[in-house]
Structure 1
Amino acid sequence: MFEDRTAESDADFPSSWKQELSVAEQEIQTDECKVQDQESQSTEFASIEVQTITVEETASPDTLDMDALAEFVNKAALLIEEELDLIATSRAFDTIMSYGDEDEEENDVTLVNTIEVVDGLSISDIDWNNTGGNLVVGLSGGEHVEWCTHLPDLNIYRVDRSGTIVGGKPQQRFNLPSCISQVAAHPSDPQLLAAGTVTGEILLFKMDRGENELSIGQVESHAPVVSLLWMSRVNLLACHSNGILRLWILDTKKYTLSLTKTFKVSSKHMPKQFKSLRSGEVGVRHASFSQDEPDRAIIGTESGAVVLADIESELILTDGGDEELYDPVALVYPLHTAPINCIAVSPIDGSIFATTAQDGILNIISMVQPTMPVISYQMDTPPNYCDWSSIKPGVIGVASTGAVYIFDVLQNKSAAIHKINVSARNLHLPLTVLKFSKNDGLRLSAGDKFGRIYVWRLPPILSTSNIHENAQFQSMVFNVE
């Protein structure tokens, strides 16, 4: 019979139309998850002590660099003083600041300080430094008929913007070998100043370098120095009473003076009626110069003539003797009939200058026509000194015996607009010198024959200006009648 069964055979017949499936194992197509353990994101707190160093960590005095500290203090002190001077002389608050009581008259001149420097000595000269913060005062024993044996001091006072002398005493003193006849503060360095003596020496001082002179300019001639002029930052012209002019040059690194040229005002240039009784010698009394022409000096003589001197002259005098002397005389103007006491060139217009003399006349001169004054004032007593305001055009102060006169040549051409009486114990004190403060013109200082210093504060009417006044003053050059 038939039965179902599977025949076992090794025969194989591959299909011609079917394909076998291929199978492969694959991983999952996603990135593996990463797990990381982190600490808690909470703020940690820690207890700390007071944030100061312990005593053991503090530097001891033995570990300090004292030289470096001293160098720093010196530099810092100069910067602080310079800033204080600038603040003291600033005009930024002129329109909102007022001094004194509200009912004080607007045009009053107020005496702020009177100081007696040294009994028995007179004030020979004063000057303000370029910032107006320091007042330099030179002392003298008066007339010298023989060699000077006095030992005076050169005093430096600090004066604030109101005119008050800080501390009421000198901030600094310098010892000098003889009486001072002239002082001159440097035009740009507030710490540097020069002094001339009655024995003909030129001394140089730096206020921030102690109490000794830096350099001494000395020659064989011992005629007193009657004027010291900083013609530039490095050129110092010394005018001596015997007509000798010496040009010194300053070494700004070593602060030493070197003589570069010597001039002599010869009598051969003087008109016959103006020649001195001393043959070949012209007595010089005072000198000034214009910043516009720093190579020319204006010199006042004993005869009353004014000499225009050219310090760049190369003309050699034949009667100079052993010393090589240059002839500086360019022009001579006979303006007074008596010895000239002072010459002052306007800081606002260098072509206008003023002269005062023993004939009691104050002349305002224009260089356009110097032989004929623009204005002349006849004073009751001979004027000893004059100085222009550095701010107010036309304002000039004149020191005389017993009074200071303030003129405004733009407002009044016949008389002074202010008279300040200066007296003590019913005596009229002879004032020897007078100077307006530089840069601001707010203060006026004077010195007398008995060693007193006076400082006045000027009202706005005498210490402020406008462009119209400047133009009006400069037009005076051409308004010669």
Structure 2
Amino acid sequence: MSNLSGYDSEAVGFPSITRSKRPETSSSTQTSEYSESGTGCQTNLVKDIGCNIVPGDVKVEAPNYSPQRLNEFLRRVVPTMLEQLDENDREVLCNSSDSDDEETITAKLFQELEIKVDSNLASGDQKTPTVLSLSWSSAGNSLAVSLGHTQHESWCNHDGVIKIFTIKRTAGDKLVHSLDINEKNCVSVVKYHHSLAALLAYGTVTGEVVIINMRDGSDFHDGMQLTSPAGCHGTKRVSALQWADASLANTYLSIHISNTGKRRGASDQILFSSGSDGTINVWQVNSNFKVFENVMCYAINGSKKMVAPDISCFDFIRVFPLRPSDEKVSDDVFVVGAKSGKLYLCKIKSKQILEGNLVDPVTEVFDGHAMCVLDVSFSLQRPGLFASLSIDSELRLYDINQYGPLKVMCLDVAVSCMSWLSSSPCVVVGTDGDKHQLRVYDVGCGREVAVEGLAVSGGVTAVAVTLGGSCRVAASDTNLKLRLWELPTRRGRLMAEEQF
């Protein structure tokens, strides 16, 4: 053992630590008897160390948290937290890998409705009206459907109507027709307020803009309906409507106070309306006090003495206050699309008044489409990015800092409308090809997302997506059928390598 331990001493043993003596035992085996006896034990020394501090002697000072330092901390931490959540949630709607074995998403069709048309709507130069616009309420429990005619030989002599469908618990949480709002002309566009579920705006083909407060649906015709002044938009078609969010509304209400000296109400709202005469009107709205005043009127290219463009769509940029400073973009811009295919970058302006109290907001012109722009909409995930769809089946992605498109997708089917999905960097596009259906495209990676179950019976005329909660998609077709689907609510974002 010496060659193992390095010591030449004998083996050392340690006595047992037990104190009790065990009785002798015998064994019946052929071995000799043996016995055990208790031995002494080794003890350990225990040393107690006292403490001279009593609880009363300890003084803990509360840290001083200043709101400014807390805000700075949140600005640094929150964006990183959001990015980490996006990294952890890999089940995005679009699988951006190059693998051919992509997961196919199935849209759940939970309701199908047939829109009934009154006899007074099927008259004049067209026999059958069509659905011109759809809009979900802020809570997602009500859907507004506007009916009218797309073409008129001269003056519109049709009656228009807005049908309101509401989700009823007694009907199994399905949409049920609850109200009709009749109009003397075709209703070209309808828009619910993004946070006030009872506030609804619509525009007509003769240039009128109407506000309705439907808190009491049975009495809204008696004093709860506000109409824009006569001659609005040159009595031409109202092409688009949009309600301003809180930050944007405060900007325009401050401009209105500065220009007129009038005080604002706590419930004042701002509504934008665009027309075929090349103007965008900014309205101050208060249904409680029956306020419907024009704050400003923008004339696209008014300062260049050019023919006014026929505006088909517009959208204001989304504000992202918690984004890092290197991702911040200007929050006072909006984009206007025209039937000529041009896209105009505009800025909020309160001065530079032209003739007739008009303001030209155009700062730059993008490298636009060759044909009519059907829709333009800013991204809900990334600041400064917006998508545009044209009648020649081009879907483009733009950045406000670049006047050329980041991506151009040439679709293989006729298109009619577009809407962003609220939970993913994807747009749903209504088609009018041989296979009538809705298609979903990821504008970040520039290709179609495999989604099954979005078939319709005719060409899609309008599409709308809920603002929050479950992702519900409503679409109408040329056969006056309304279908509603639910898509999986999966989060996604445009990856840095997928943007360009």
Instruction: Give the TM-score of the pair, scaled to structure 2.
Output: 0.64
Q: CA deviation at 1:443?
A: 0.9
Aligned to 1:275: none
Q: CA deviation at 1:245?
A: 1.0
Deviation sequence 1:114-162 (CA, Å, 0-9, x none): 222134221111111111111111111221232222222211212479x
CA contact (8 A) 1:112 1:457 kept: yes
Is residue 452 from structure 1 mapped to residue 478 from structure 2 by the alignment? no
Separation in structure 2 between the aligned mates of residue 376 and residue 432 of structure 1, nearest angstrom: 23
Separation in structure 2 between the aligned mates of residue 446 and residue 108 of structure 1, nearest angstrom: 16
Deviation sequence 1:264-307 (CA, Å, 0-9, x none): 1127769xxxxxxxx62211111112231774321111221111
Aligned to 2:255: none
Q: Aligned with 1:183: secondary structure?
A: strand
Aligned to 1:274: none
Aligned to 1:195: 202
- Structure 1: unaligned runs, 5 residues or longer: 1-104, 271-278
| Aligned residue identity for 1:202 | V
Separation in structure 1 between the aligned mates of residue 495 and residue 280 of structure 2, nearest angstrom: 30
Which of the residues 422, 438, 443 maps onto 1:404? 438
Is residue 464 from structure 1 mapped to residue 498 from structure 2 by the alignment? no
Which of the residues 317, 329, 349 maps onto 2:362? 329
Q: Aligned with 1:384: secondary structure?
A: strand
Is residue 215 from structure 1 mapped to residue 226 from structure 2 by the alignment? yes
Which of the residues 472, 478, 481 maps onto 1:443? 472
Check 1:143–1:433 CA distance in 2 against 1; reply closer, same or farther (3 A cut): same
Of all paired residues, the percent bearing the same amino acid is 21
CA contact (8 A) 1:311 1:328 kept: yes
Aligned to 1:301: 338
Separation in structure 1 between the aligned mates of residue 310 and residue 404 of structure 2, nearest angstrom: 20
Check 1:146–1:311 CA distance in 2 against 1; reply closer, same or farther (3 A cut): farther
Is residue 123 from structure 1 mapped to residue 131 from structure 2 by the alignment? yes
Separation in structure 1 between the aligned mates of residue 453 and residue 367 of structure 2, nearest angstrom: 31
CA contact (8 A) 2:105 2:452 kept: no
Check 1:480–1:294 CA distance in 2 against 1; reply closer, same or farther (3 A cut): closer
Q: Aligned with 1:355: secondary structure?
A: strand
Larger radius of gyration: 1
Separation in structure 1 between the aligned mates of residue 360 and residue 312 of structure 2, nearest angstrom: 18
Is residue 141 from structure 1 mapped to residue 176 from structure 2 by the alignment? no
Check 1:435–1:391 CA distance in 2 against 1; reply closer, same or farther (3 A cut): same
Check 1:149–1:450 CA distance in 2 against 1; reply closer, same or farther (3 A cut): farther
Q: CA deviation at 1:253?
A: 3.2
Q: CA deviation at 1:335?
A: 2.1
| Aligned residue identity for 2:379 | S
| Aligned residue identity for 1:140 | G
Check 1:122–1:146 CA distance in 2 against 1; reply closer, same or farther (3 A cut): same
Is residue 180 from structure 1 mapped to residue 214 from structure 2 by the alignment? no
Is residue 226 from structure 1 mapped to residue 239 from structure 2 by the alignment? yes
Aligned to 2:140: 132
Separation in structure 1 between the aligned mates of residue 357 and residue 472 of structure 2, nearest angstrom: 44
Q: Aligned with 2:402: secondary structure?
A: coil
Separation in structure 2 between the aligned mates of residue 434 and residue 117 of structure 1, nearest angstrom: 15
Deviation sequence 1:32-81 (CA, Å, 0-9, x none): xxxxxxxxxxxxxxxxxxxxxxxxxxxxxxxxxxxxxxxxxxxxxxxxxx
CA contact (8 A) 1:389 1:395 kept: yes
Which of the residues 107, 110, 120 maps onto 2:108? 110
Separation in structure 2 between the aligned mates of residue 419 and residue 359 of structure 1, nearest angstrom: 25
Is residue 261 from structure 1 mapped to residue 292 from structure 2 by the alignment? no
Aligned to 1:57: none
| Aligned residue identity for 2:483 | Y
Check 1:112–1:205 CA distance in 2 against 1; reply closer, same or farther (3 A cut): same
Separation in structure 1 between the aligned mates of residue 371 and residue 272 of structure 2, nearest angstrom: 25
| Aligned residue identity for 2:477 | D
Q: CA deviation at 1:327?
A: 0.8
Instruction: Give the TM-score of the pair, scaled to structure 1.
Output: 0.66
Separation in structure 1 between the aligned mates of residue 212 and residue 439 of structure 2, nearest angstrom: 33
CA contact (8 A) 2:374 2:389 kept: yes
- Structure 2: unaligned runs, 5 residues or longer: 1-102, 118-127, 247-268, 320-329
Deviation sequence 1:399-453 (CA, Å, 0-9, x none): 111221012345x5333423656453xxxx2212212111124211112234322
| Aligned residue identity for 1:191 | A
Q: CA deviation at 1:249?
A: 0.4
Q: Aligned with 1:308: secondary structure?
A: strand
Aligned to 1:171: 178
Aligned to 2:422: 390
Separation in structure 2 between the aligned mates of residue 164 and residue 144 of structure 1, nearest angstrom: 40
Separation in structure 2 between the aligned mates of residue 364 and residue 306 of structure 1, nearest angstrom: 12
Q: CA deviation at 1:185?
A: 1.0
Check 1:191–1:382 CA distance in 2 against 1; reply closer, same or farther (3 A cut): same
Separation in structure 1 between the aligned mates of residue 210 and residue 426 of structure 2, nearest angstrom: 32
CA contact (8 A) 1:124 1:432 kept: yes
Separation in structure 1 between the aligned mates of residue 172 and residue 399 of structure 2, nearest angstrom: 36
Separation in structure 2 between the aligned mates of residue 295 and residue 249 of structure 1, nearest angstrom: 18
| Aligned residue identity for 1:169 | V
Separation in structure 2 between the aligned mates of residue 206 and residue 294 of structure 1, nearest angstrom: 30
